[in-house]
Structure 1
């Protein structure tokens, strides 16, 4: 079961029903292109054994119409009161009704009948019809084991104007939830009405969602799908990953046998808050990335090696997990390169006790959606040393927190040695340094990359090098990754090389890569290099339109409109993004940048003030305010905002640089030199701070210092003509 997932701006990184079956009426733009899939009922006669197992699975029960016995208990239960927020559930299974009211909100009370339900165990979510084809998922969910309602948000009770509130786009069923709970689901967003004409074949994840389209023609008694097509373990894994991953959806066209990366962009631990620095899960990350980051995934272990696909459970069920039998299918003999392990000797725990099972230590669980315990598929080894250094979790601490970390370190050193996994530790320290923006981060990332053989980690380390993209050492490693067989690594290379103007040849090759997500990374990173009729630009437009029902999609549409020179359209998209996400400072920053670029700097100031209220600790906002105020001639205001940006981020190189320029323009040369030196140290690849220092030293008559600073600028960028001219002017 899955909570509604947000589109990744990571870019960081992207999105009436009521009866089972194919909808009629407005078909949407892609309806004619839908491949022919069969309903699961057409498969059951010949595949009775598989059908019997599947019918009780979480896949089959992923989505359904309301009206079961389970609903009878849910809609006769006690109300749910969460301070100022009140929920009531009435009507039993025949006439269920959900009522919501927030005492502190001006939003009128909502009372609607849920036509559909998501999931079965460990919780059930109900779907409400908001009209215009739009469905929303309340955060109030039913726990069928405890027979009680609860909020999936826990104490994080969101306000009605926030993107993540259950009435807003963060909990929109059409774009955030439904695709992974249906067979042949098509969202069909209608931008002209901001509504949906959503279609599907059947509720639940049915046979053909995984087994593929019907044969064009078949003989009597021949299977509906073509079983002569044989899929590799990786292709099966890519089919699983379409839902069991934290990803950005590029389109809805994936079919079994396709490359996952032609239809999705995968989230990596390159954004703080998604994963711990060692790759353990924090946010709702699902499993695919974790598996790819693991040693098992690196050796080619895939989903179907451990999971029975029809049952959607571990092979052998719970007993195989409890007795370690599932893990020992490889680790008893060293099959497929597995480390040979004697569970008793390896675990140092008595058989049957907590800690004696492989999953206790190597698949720690985290709770999501308030009640859903999910195992970490990175298979981490407990490392209390990193817990003490960086705060990363370790399974020993789950049971032995009372003994303290030093006790845990002592015993793990006795059992496994003090130098366990030194490369993994150094990689974790590098990622943590990048998350914390520490001065040693780039050197640590470079060293970790050079020793890393897992391409998912290589891609992660490269993406974390973005602040130093123009450093030749970073460019060299990106060019190496550009030849990787893994699209994750090539995508990271495209992401970096797009930011380096001198990398045109490599970037051009990646912009025509055979894998779509790599091409898109190249395109989004260097939009200005693309001619207006370029095929890649047209593909970027398709992706942005598909994501256009979410703020991130509107921001992408704005970028594309600006590239086409359509200023009014760009501004409309940015206003829409900001309006759709009242809690987003990023949308307001982008809008302010657009307004300033359009010569409307005074209009940008209040937009940035609004952004600052939303994200008062974001140093980028006072930095942008400083630039805007400087353009308007308010030097005092600009200086105050630059100093605020530096207070919020003492390592903000560009803020130091602009402060140095401002101070120099006011005649405060000594203070300007200090600020520019800081900028030069913090931005070791940027030639502008040392060049600015050179100009100040020249004005002060300090020729040797001016020459040294100019040489520094030229070392950083040998093509820096102004620095070369300055050197010539002082005879050096």
Structure 2
């Protein structure tokens, strides 16, 4: 729901706050030279907010002078970093214990009252303030759906991403969560967001057009090669890195060259970082410069032998160069260092499929699914492998489990439809086909399939 979690800067939460939206800056509360607050306790807040209204028991409902009466206790709860550093959440939001159960999010109430449940806190707030506080807009349910409900969350994500009243970082997050479901039907929404005044939203919108065909990518991303913000220009250049020069409008070619150079200059500053070399390798691979991609990924591995993505991407680059045997060696080298890394097992499984060693491939794909049970793609591919082995029952069980953990995933639904049809289970196939049709109401093929399974 946007509250701080794990090792993050408080800047991300502050960008969500009404304070930031209304022009309040860090230095309004923090004295930068002395590195102290401009006032202590509630006095910091009441420089702007009415003390008689807010710094009073009628508002905070706690004993005056106690911890519960401090503004920051309820509106800036802490999370511990490095075990000992309690950082306050700077989104300065109203506690929402009513959402904790459905979102799994913390709330300030039960953070203090550790022996109580969120429902207890919500009931207490109802008795103090009525129930209107429950109706306050929250983007938490939409973002939560974006991470747990698959394609069914797409309409809500696009609505939030285009909501001008929502903080820009929230709209950009919604657009980012929409990226895996991007397609022709989301193109108009992406075009609107590419014109957004905030660069975070424009960058996220570029991620929505990157999977498109080259023509649509050029039409929509090329104008942002001249964006006033460097991050946007770099993202546009990366989205168009694999498009031949002849397909770039003549008036945009110089801008693409300049933006790519800016990206390469930024990556050069990270030449001693493994991730910087992986990013450079990915760029070179998109540009068709395979040998340079291989060199970049190999540098990343030398810098960090435990960076799994470097081995996976190195194997992919070697595959593009027709050097699959070396790619297999690279993946096995990575597994020797990280034997429980699911990404390496999955990549090796796919390589062995291409090699024709299906029994060994199936073992690797099964290991990947077992080691990363939350990765729906790995569960899907493993189920397809199980079905190919003749283990239809196990395949269906794996797919049903994946559908339960990751509802509304179109790949999983497609496999459930197909394998149930093969098994002669028409009713099960129809159930999953109807579920997919709800997600893709304009898909004529799905409509025909549902009609066929219904016997119409």
Same fold (TM over 0.5): yes
Structure 1 pair 657–348 and aligned structure 2 pair: CA distance change class (3 A): same
Confirm whether residue 523 of structure 1 aligns to residue 237 of structure 2. yes
Structure 1 residue 678: deviation in Å?
11
- 1:95-144 deviation line (CA, Å, top 9, x unaligned): xxxxxxxxxxxxxxxxxxxxxxxxxxxxxxxxxxxxxxxxxxxxxxxxxx
Give 1:509 shift: 1.8
Q: 1:601/1:658 Cα in 2 relative to 1: closer, same or farther (>3 Å)?
A: farther
Cα deviation digits, residues 213-271 of structure 1 (max 9, x gap) = xxxxxxxxxxxxxxxxxxxxxxxxxxxxxxxxxxxxxxxxxxxxxxxxxxxxxxxxxxx
**Residue 683 to residue 325, structure 1, CA distance change in 2 (3 Å):** closer
Per the TM alignment, residue 457 of structure 1 is displaced from its structure 2 partner at its CA by 0.5
- Which stretches in structure 1 are left out of the alignment for 5+ residues? 1-277, 335-339, 721-732
Identify if the C-alpha distance between structure 1 residues 392 and 597 changes in structure 2 by more than 3 Å, giving closer, same or farther. Answer: same
Task: Return the structure number with greater strand share.
Answer: 1
Match of 1:294 among 10, 17, 24: 17
Structure with the larger RCO, 1 or 2 (CA within 8 Å, 6+ apart): 1
Name 1:545's counterpart in structure 2: 268
Paired with 1:615 and 1:683, the residues of 2 have a C-alpha distance of 32
Q: Does 1:356 find its partner at 2:75? A: no
Question: CA 1:468 to 1:519, structure 2 compared with 1: closer, same or farther past 3 Å?
Answer: same
What is the CA distance between 1:361 and its match in structure 2?
A: 1.4
Q: 1:630 aligns with which of 353, 358, 362?
A: 353
Which residue of the partner structure matches residue 478 of structure 1? Answer: 190
Q: Provide the residue aligned with 1:413 in structure 2.
A: 126
| Residues 431, 687 of structure 1: alpha-carbon distance in 2 compared, 3 angstrom cutoff | closer
Q: Is 1:642 equivalent to 2:355 in the alignment?
A: no
Residue of structure 1 equivalent to 2:143: 431
SS of the residue aligned with 1:325? helix
Query: Does the 8 A contact of 1:437 with 1:651 survive in 2?
Result: no
Aligned twin of 1:511: 225
- The residue correspondences of 1:225-236 to structure 2 (distance < 5 A) are none
Tell me the equivalent position of 1:388. 101
Question: Which residue is equivalent to 1:113?
Answer: none
Distance 2:442 2:320 in 1: 27
Cα RMSD, aligned residues only: 4.2
Larger radius of gyration: 1
Q: Are the aligned partners of 2:274 and 2:299 in contact in 1 as well (CA < 8 Å)?
A: yes
Give the structure with the larger helix fraction. Answer: 2
2:315 touches 2:330 (CA, 8 Å); kept in 1?
A: yes
Give how far 1:438 is off: 5.5
The separation in 2 between residues aligned to 1:297 and 1:282, in whole angstroms, is 20
> Can you list the C-alpha shifts for 1:483-514, whole angstroms capped at 9, x where unaligned?
11111111111122122223431211223222
Distance in 2, Cα, partners of 1:527 & 1:687: 31
Deviation at 1:330, TM superposition (A): 2.2
Alignment map for 1:119-198 (pairs within 5 Å): none
Question: How far does the alpha carbon of each residue in 1:147-180 deviate from its partner, in whole angstroms, 9 at most, with x for none?
Answer: xxxxxxxxxxxxxxxxxxxxxxxxxxxxxxxxxx
SS at 1:538 equivalent = helix
C-alpha displacement of 1:436: 4.7
Matching residue of 2:210? 498
Q: Tell me how far apart the structure 2 counterparts of residues 628 and 355 of structure 1 sit (CA, whole Å).
A: 58
Corresponding residue for 1:197?
Answer: none
Instruction: Summarize the Cα distance change of 1:679–1:413 in structure 2 as closer, same or farther, 3 Å threshold.
Output: closer
Distance in 2 of aligned mates of 1:367 and 1:394 = 14
Identify the residue that residue 47 of structure 2 maps to in structure 1.
329
* CA displacement at 1:517 relative to structure 2: 0.8
Q: Deviations over 1:667-717 (max 9, x none)?
A: 999999999999999786779969x969x99xx9x9xx9xxx9xx9xx899
Preserved contact between residue 623 and residue 655 of structure 1 (Cα < 8 Å): no
| Residue 452 of structure 2: aligned partner | none
TM-score (norm 1): 0.50
Q: Give the Cα separation in 1 of the matches to 2:136 and 2:244.
A: 40
User: In 1, Cα distance between the equivalents of 2:335 and 2:98?
Assistant: 38
**What secondary structure does 2:133 align onto?**
coil
Contact 2:308 2:343 (C-alpha < 8 Å) held by counterparts: no
Whether 1:455 and 2:168 are equivalent positions in the alignment is: yes
Judge conservation of contact 1:622–1:642 (CA < 8 Å) in 2: yes
Aligned to 2:113: 400
When the two structures are aligned, how many residues end up with a matched partner?
417
Q: CA-to-partner distance for each residue in 1:351-378, whole Å, 9 max, x for gaps?
A: 2111111112112233334544332211
Q: TM-score, normalised by structure 2?
A: 0.76
SS at match of 2:86: strand
| 2:67–2:73 CA contact under 8 A, matched in 1 | yes
Q: Kindly tell me: are residues 686 and 519 of structure 1, through their superposed partners in 2, closer, same or farther at Cα, counting changes over 3 Å? A: farther
Change (3 A) 1:581 1:653: closer
